[in-house]
């Protein structure tokens, strides 16, 4: 099959996906998470368009996705798993063992980092987990290089029988570049799992031996020429040098040209931050007395060089430890490093807008009902769009996937002997419930935790781009799958109170949550499923219900209750705050706000 075409404008995640199919990936799995989400959907698109025989799957969480793809590699196929950096925490258990046992077919772990952070709980550096797991990691600077590194990673993985991490960052994942598509090979590989219990089911005694072998692999990988650092401007010389990796390397190349330093300041680009090449470390410190290291987010390269008298970077606070290394920061660091007196314009911060739930989002109604039902409660929540419930004072804690339920249990146990025990209401999305909430619910039932769990079931994984959940009954390409029934699952955990309601029906839904709160105070866990489709998802599908036209009448005295406690973007203060009005360009016509104004000033416009 020959698919060589002219260059195409590709997003970084699309380029990575293209690299996977061009290199014979047979199994690709993922759990959605920005900035990585488009990798798997793009692989699925190529699979459909080009008729490629491969398996693509959204898994229920990153650990499951990892283990499915890894098993394919054990059977000799080329496989890949993708996720965001905090998802790698979920997959860290199989990651550590897979590094010891190695692989047969090439196995790539794509962990997309989010320096900034733009849409993540942390700025953690996936390369640190690669160091901990003792697997090589490649750090692309652009979409084109990310695609090329997929092939490099498969070669490295199969040469050394080890998983390899590809670590793009947000600016690589979501930037676009003209990329040359390559041929799509016809895969001749057949699964051929060779039983080897001493390796694949190794007991601790044999794990020690595998660890020795892993250390030997790393030493060999650190001598490979294919992934060795590149001297980008060999004509330059001198005792000073700059070393960069990832997108910081792309910024460095531009900044050196802008500052007139390209011809005189040696610039090394590190393709493989770990393990750093042995000969490179020796030559760098032998040839240069003063070295600046530019990398996001942690000083991985810098730590391996380990000569802090001559090496400047994050560890000695020359380079900022927090936030992205934006082009203007890189230029400033290079100017300071070389003693250049230049004026680099600082862009004024763009005016921000308070993040809020979408107009018509069913979660807003759920939060309004929860505050009515448990007005002095403790509200634990989770990772997803609904984190924005904090603006409505309906979210008190957000820790990590699934923690809403565990933390609710923790607050119950903390207050269980208190004279006045607060009501505890946890909120979690449907996808997050399947991801990590289910084990926590089992634990809560087992220990008879008296709390209310409200599952915000909008029938999709909304925050990351509307990927399906196990309850949706569709796969990554829209193919039909077996639906997992949420109610049956919850009842199977032993929950005795379970009701399902539509938060758009605010009065009845509020009564349902009040009933759940009353049950939980004396009996145990109560679960309410707040079920209404995501308004954005419905819009994309061209679906929707008849809109309710809403207006604000003269009874409005500008008290601002609706703005503070409901915070719908379609409700706006006008006349210097003297009254509220409805913005018809934003209003979706859900009609929920008709139940919000205590004075009855929000009415249907008939």
- CA-to-CA dists, residue 108 to 44, 94, 129, 423, angstroms: 17, 14, 14, 46
Peptide bond between residue 416 and the one before it cis (omega within 30 degrees of 0): no
Query: 25 labelled as ligand-binding?
Result: no
Residue 376 has which token pair?
Answer: 């002095």
Query: 562 labelled as ligand-binding?
Result: yes
First CA to last CA distance, the chain? 62
The label of the residue with tokens 């601002």 reads 560
The label of the residue with tokens 């219990």 reads 197
Query: 361 labelled as ligand-binding?
Result: no
Query: 103 labelled as ligand-binding?
Result: no
Query: 597 labelled as ligand-binding?
Result: yes
Strand partners, 197: none
In eight-state DSSP terms, residue 118 is S
Query: 358 labelled as ligand-binding?
Result: no
CA distance 209 to 199: 10
Contact 12, 146 (CB under 8 A): yes
Contact 30, 191 (CB under 8 A): no
Query: 593 labelled as ligand-binding?
Result: yes
| Sequence-ordered strand ranges (E) for 105-166 | 107-112, 137-138, 164-166
* Backbone φ and ψ of 498, nearest 5°: -145, 120
CA 175 to mean position of chain CA atoms: 17
- CA-to-CA dists, residue 25 to 47, 53, 143, 422, angstroms: 11, 10, 18, 52
Contact 127, 137 (CB under 8 A): yes
Bind-site residues: 556, 559, 562, 568, 587, 590, 593, 597
Bind-site residues for [4Fe-4S] cluster: 556, 559, 562, 568, 587, 590, 593, 597
């Amino acid at each position: 099959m020959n698919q060589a075409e002219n260059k195409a404008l590709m997003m970084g995640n699309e380029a990575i996906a293209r690299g996977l199919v061009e290199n014979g990936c047979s199994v690709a799995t993922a759990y959605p998470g920005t900035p990585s989400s488009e990798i798997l959907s793009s692989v699925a698109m190529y699979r459909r368009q080009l008729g490629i025989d491969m398996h693509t799957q959204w898994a229920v969480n990153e650990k499951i996705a990892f283990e499915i793809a890894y098993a394919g590699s054990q059977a000799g196929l080329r496989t890949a798993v993708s996720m965001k950096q905090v998802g790698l925490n979920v997959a860290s258990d199989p990651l550590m063992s897979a590094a010891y046992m190695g692989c047969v077919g090439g196995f790539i772990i794509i962990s997309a980092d989010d320096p900034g952070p733009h849409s993540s709980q942390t700025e953690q550096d996936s390369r640190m987990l690669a160091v901990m797991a003792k697997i090589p990691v490649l750090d692309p600077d652009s979409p084109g290089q990310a695609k090329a590194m997929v092939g490099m990673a498969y070669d490295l993985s199969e040469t050394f029988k080890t998983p390899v991490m590809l670590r793009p960052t947000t600016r690589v994942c979501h930037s676009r570049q003209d990329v040359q598509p390559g041929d799509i090979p016809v895969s001749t590989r057949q699964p051929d799992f060779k039983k080897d219990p001493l390796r694949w089911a190794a007991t601790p005694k044999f794990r020690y031996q595998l660890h020795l072998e892993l250390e030997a692999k790393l030493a060999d990988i650190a001598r490979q020429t294919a992934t060795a650092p590149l001297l980008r401007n060999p004509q330059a010389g001198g005792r000073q040098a700059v070393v960069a990796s990832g997108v910081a390397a792309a910024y460095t190349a531009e900044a050196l040209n802008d500052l007139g330093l390209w011809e005189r300041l040696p610039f090394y680009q590190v393709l493989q931050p770990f393990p750093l090449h042995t000969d490179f470390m020796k030559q760098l410190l032998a040839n240069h007395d003063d070295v600046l290291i530019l990398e996001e987010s942690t000083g991985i390269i810098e730590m391996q060089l380990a000569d802090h008298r001559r090496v400047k970077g994050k560890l000695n606070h020359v380079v900022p430890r927090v936030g992205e290394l934006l082009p203007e920061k890189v230029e400033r660091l290079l100017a300071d490093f070389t003693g250049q007196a230049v004026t680099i314009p600082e862009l004024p911060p763009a005016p921000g807008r308070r993040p809020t739930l979408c107009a018509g989002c069913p979660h807003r109604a759920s939060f309004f009902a929860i505050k009515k039902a448990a007005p002095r409660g403790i509200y634990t929540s989770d990772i997803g769009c609904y984190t924005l419930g904090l603006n409505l004072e309906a979210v008190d804690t957000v820790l990590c996937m699934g923690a809403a339920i565990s933390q609710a249990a923790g607050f119950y146990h903390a207050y269980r002997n208190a004279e006045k025990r607060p009501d505890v209401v946890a909120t979690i999305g449907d996808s997050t419930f399947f991801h990590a909430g289910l084990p926590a619910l089992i634990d809560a039932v087992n220990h008879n935790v008296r709390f209310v769990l409200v599952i915000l079931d909008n029938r999709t994984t909304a925050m990351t781009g509307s990927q399906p959940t196990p309850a949706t009954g569709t796969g990554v390409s829209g193919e039909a799958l077996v639906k997992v029934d949420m109610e049956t699952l919850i009842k199977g955990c032993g929950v005795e109170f379970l009701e399902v309601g539509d938060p758009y029906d605010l009065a009845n839904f509020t009564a349902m949550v009040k009933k759940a709160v009353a049950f939980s105070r004396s009996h145990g866990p109560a679960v309410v499923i707040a079920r209404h489709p995501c308004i954005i998802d419905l819009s994309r599908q061209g679906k929707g219900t008849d809109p309710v036209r809403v207006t604000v009448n003269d009874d409005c005295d500008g008290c601002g209750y609706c703005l503070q406690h409901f915070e719908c973007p379609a409700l706006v203060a006008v006349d210097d705050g003297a009254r509220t009005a409805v913005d018809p360009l934003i209003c979706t016509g859900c009609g929920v706000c008709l139940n919000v104004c205590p004075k009855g000033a929000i009415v249907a416009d008939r």
